[in-house]
Amino acid sequence: MTMQVSDISFAYGSRTVLDGVGFGLRPGELCALFGPNGTGKSTLYRCILGHLRHQGRVMLDGTDLTRLRPAQVARRVSYVPQQHSSPFPFTVRDMVLMGRTPHLGGVFGPRRSDIEHCERVLERVGLAGDGDRLYHTLSGGQRQLTLIARALAQDCNVLLLDEPTASLDFGNQMWVWRTVQDLARQGRTVLVCTHDPNHVRWFCDRVLALGRNGKLLAEGAPSTVITAELVGNLYPGVGAVTTAGHGAVVPADVAGVG
Amino acid sequence: MSQTDAVAPADSTGAAPAEASATPRAVVTGNRRRIILLAATTALAAIVAIVSIAVGAYVIPVPDVLAVLAAKTGLTDDADNLHTAVVWDLRLTRVLLAGAVGAALATSGTAYQGTFRNPLVEPFILGVSAGAAFGAGLAVMVDVPLSLQVMAFLFGMVAVWLTYTLSRVRGERPTVTLILAGIVVGSFFSAVFSLFQYAGTDEQLRRLVFWIMGGFYRATWDDVAIVVPATIVGCLLLFRYGWRLNILSLGDDEARSLGVDPEPLRRRIIVLATALTALAVSVSGIIAWVGLLVPHAARLLVGPDHRFLLPLSATMGAVFVMACDNLARTIHTGEVPIGIITSVIGAPYLIYLLRSRATRLGAAS
């Protein structure tokens, strides 16, 4: 599905968070929403999903998302929050089953076919056999994968992921990015917000760079957008950086240049 | 210096490896086990009810109890049993009322905990008990055309309505302000209730204190005729929200992204749970702990899925309050207020649960 976001502006009181943000997303492409903490990446997600009222438009293959009810949006776009702790001891299977909610008709909850669907998506993210474990006792990486599995159970063609690797260790970060990459290759429209320039360069096909003024600074292939200049702009406290070598952003003094 | 020091995956520009797919695993849902558990606790509730009718100031043999019940419900011809009056008019009313109140408090406690995403919430959190106490106090202190029960019910609902109205901040109702507003409204009504106690005559004071400690000693068929059907209807209406309550317990943003609009759902659940609590409080006074403890015990048995948790809370709440009421009327020659019994039993049990089963209660291991 092609998603066209146009002219989203949003302000908390007098503080402008988003200022005329617009972009398009294509199926099969892993797109990053890159920007430092506090630039309004999550706010942009909440606007796209219709949780916040805004003036812009979000078109999905000709349907205006802002005119749909939450249940209708949830059948088209799934949102993966940052991994968190649940106040109640749900099992992994329970958590994933909740993704079936937009497709349930009656009051009795999921059917057997829904449960089988969930077993398949658990397997796809590498959690086959963990269905009976308690979600809140998992590692951060496993929780994040559980939430990704839940979004897959939701069966939408558009996936929005919110900092999926922010609090994970290196191994889990790689595992989650690989999984997300696979999902995009299978034809889904995937937008991942992240504040790590290296992850963008390593894994993403395209990047939208969101600046501190709430405007999109640049858009395009990671190797052309994530430049030393842009990173220096967004993270002025870091000092000079270089993108020499393997497509990695490295502080200039660490890399031994400049 | 072309090679940098970054540890990047070797194929970060290449293709991702294909995932090997394993064979699908057999699905064990555990739903059958949960349904058996529900049926078992329902049967247990029936057994406890019959035993509760048998015990008391003097013991009536269980066959006699069954004979009276069968005769009264028209299953057998009315064999004039000398226990009829005690069984039918005194003890059965009391047992039915205790069961209904237990089911109502425990179900609403579970619903509140799910809605507020907090396992420490109890049904009195939004001020319903303080409001009900105020209403009952008003009925004791001044001449009002309504009965004490009706006044308690009305002011219980009024208190929660106040809490709900006060908690609105910029078009939203964050859980924190809702709970804070509940504390404010509750303490206001409690203060006025204390004033009643201070200003009342000895007789009024006795009635106030006995009401607030709770009990079923004044149960009549009139009470039963209202409370039991209303509790059943209220509980069934709440059970319908079981699955959506699971979603709501994840938080508002996640609920929305899963297609559930949290605000109207939360309002409906709060109205239902509050009505159930106010109904229970209006006939029994304030019975502490049931609405906090039973949901936890039920969650240990079936897990947090509210489709099963709500009905199991209802049956276990009924069993718990009926059993406590048996103690209340038998451990002493007089009547011990049931609120004291539930607290004395409830507090150590909750400590036991916390110390032995913390992970299943939701603490990270």
- Provide the mean pLDDT of chain A: 88
pLDDT of residue B228: 95
Residue A63 burial (CB < 10 Å; 0-12/13-18/19+)?
A: middle
Most A CBs within 10 Å: which of B249, B258, B353, as the mutation test of the A interface?
A: B258
Helix-strand-coil percent breakdown of chain B, rounded to 5?
Answer: 70, 0, 30
Residues B7, A75: C-beta atoms closer than 8 Å: no
The average pLDDT across A163-179 equals 88
Residues B114, A248: C-beta atoms closer than 8 Å: no
Most confident range, picked from A156-160, B347-351, B360-364: A156-160
Yes or no: say if B94 and B101 are a contact pair by the CB < 8 Å rule.
Answer: no
Question: What whole-number distance in Å separates Cα of residue B232 and Cα of residue B229?
Answer: 5
The average pLDDT across B79-91 equals 81
Residue B107 burial (CB < 10 Å; 0-12/13-18/19+)?
A: buried
Most B CBs within 10 Å: which of A145, A182, A246, as the mutation test of the B interface?
A: A246
The average pLDDT across A28-32 equals 93
Checking if the pLDDT of B22 tops 50, the result is no
List pLDDT tens digits, range B141-154.
988 888 888 999 99
Cβ contacts of A98 on chain B, cutoff 8 Å: 246-247, 250, 258
The average pLDDT across B248-275 equals 91
Q: Where do the domains of chain B lie?
A: 3-364
List pLDDT tens digits, range A76-97.
999 999 888 888 889 999 999 9
Question: What whole-number distance in Å separates Cα of residue B39 and Cα of residue B33?
Answer: 10
pLDDT of residue B24: 36
Quote the percentage of chain B above a pLDDT of 70: 88
Question: What whole-number distance in Å separates Cα of residue A135 and Cα of residue B344?
Answer: 34
pLDDT of residue B154: 93
pTM tops 0.80, yes or no: yes
* CB nearest A89 (choices: B16, B258, B360): B360
List pLDDT tens digits, range A100-156.
998 887 666 788 888 899 999 999 888 888 988 999 889 888 999 999 999 999 989
Q: Give how far B250 is from chain A: nearest CA, Å.
A: 7
Checking if the pLDDT of B25 tops 60, the result is no
Yes or no: say if A122 and A93 are a contact pair by the CB < 8 Å rule.
Answer: yes
Question: What whole-number distance in Å separates Cα of residue B95 and Cα of residue B329?
Answer: 12
Question: What whole-number distance in Å separates Cα of residue A66 and Cα of residue B179?
Answer: 32
Q: Using CB atoms and an 8 Å cut-off, which of residues 291-310 of chain B contact chain A? A: 299, 303-305, 307
* CB nearest B362 (choices: A87, A170, A242): A87
Residues B9, A154: C-beta atoms closer than 8 Å: no
pLDDT of residue A226: 86
What are the CB-based long-range contacts (under 8 Å, 24+) for A38-42? A38/A212, A39/A210, A39/A211, A39/A212, A39/A214, A40/A10, A40/A210, A40/A214, A41/A162, A41/A163, A41/A193, A41/A210, A42/A162, A42/A193
**pLDDT-derived band of residue B2, with 50, 70 and 90 as boundaries?**
very low
Question: What whole-number distance in Å separates Cα of residue B157 and Cα of residue B167?
Answer: 15
Checking if the pLDDT of B14 tops 50, the result is no
**pLDDT-derived band of residue B20, with 50, 70 and 90 as boundaries?**
very low
Cβ contacts of A120 on chain B, cutoff 8 Å: 24
Type of residue at A255: A
- What is the domain class of B3-364 according to CATH? mainly alpha
List pLDDT tens digits, range A217-232.
989 998 888 888 888 8
**Residues forming a β-bridge with B205:** none
pLDDT of residue B156: 92
* CB nearest B16 (choices: A81, A85, A181): A181
**pLDDT-derived band of residue A53, with 50, 70 and 90 as boundaries?**
confident
- Provide the mean pLDDT of chain B: 85
Residues B12, A136: C-beta atoms closer than 8 Å: no
pLDDT of residue B362: 58
* CB nearest B304 (choices: A75, A89, A115): A89
What's the DSSP call for residue B169? Answer: B
**pLDDT-derived band of residue B247, with 50, 70 and 90 as boundaries?**
very high
Chain A residue whose CA is closest to B358: A89
List pLDDT tens digits, range B173-220.
777 888 899 999 999 999 999 999 899 899 999 888 878 877 888 888
ipTM value: 0.87
The average pLDDT across B43-54 equals 94
pLDDT of residue A5: 92
Residues A245, B307: C-beta atoms closer than 8 Å: no
Determine contact: B360 vs chain A, CB below 8 A.
yes
pLDDT of residue A23: 93
Checking if the pLDDT of B172 tops 80, the result is no
Residue A62 burial (CB < 10 Å; 0-12/13-18/19+)?
A: exposed
Yes or no: say if A148 and A176 are a contact pair by the CB < 8 Å rule.
Answer: yes
Yes or no: say if B182 and B122 are a contact pair by the CB < 8 Å rule.
Answer: no
Determine contact: A211 vs chain B, CB below 8 A.
no
Angle formed by the axes of helices B221-239 and B262-284, to 10°?
160
Cβ contacts of A88 on chain B, cutoff 8 Å: 114, 117, 119, 249, 299, 304, 362
Give SS3 for A230: helix
The two most distant CA atoms of chain A are separated, in Å, by 65
Summary count for chain B: helices (H), strands (E):
16, 0
Q: Give how far A213 is from chain B: nearest CA, Å.
A: 25
Nearest of B95, B99, B84 to residue B56 by alpha carbon: B95
Cβ contacts of B24 on chain A, cutoff 8 Å: 116, 119-120, 123
Most A CBs within 10 Å: which of B4, B172, B245, as the mutation test of the A interface?
A: B4
Residues B249, A87: C-beta atoms closer than 8 Å: yes
Please, which residues have CB within 8 angstroms of residue A8's CB and are 6 or more apart in sequence? A18, A20, A21, A22, A44, A47, A48, A54, A55, A56, A58
SS (H, E, C) A53-81: CCCCEEEECCEEHHHCCHHHHHCCEEEEC
Checking if the pLDDT of A25 tops 80, the result is yes
Yes or no: say if B116 and B93 are a contact pair by the CB < 8 Å rule.
Answer: no
Residues A88, B304: C-beta atoms closer than 8 Å: yes
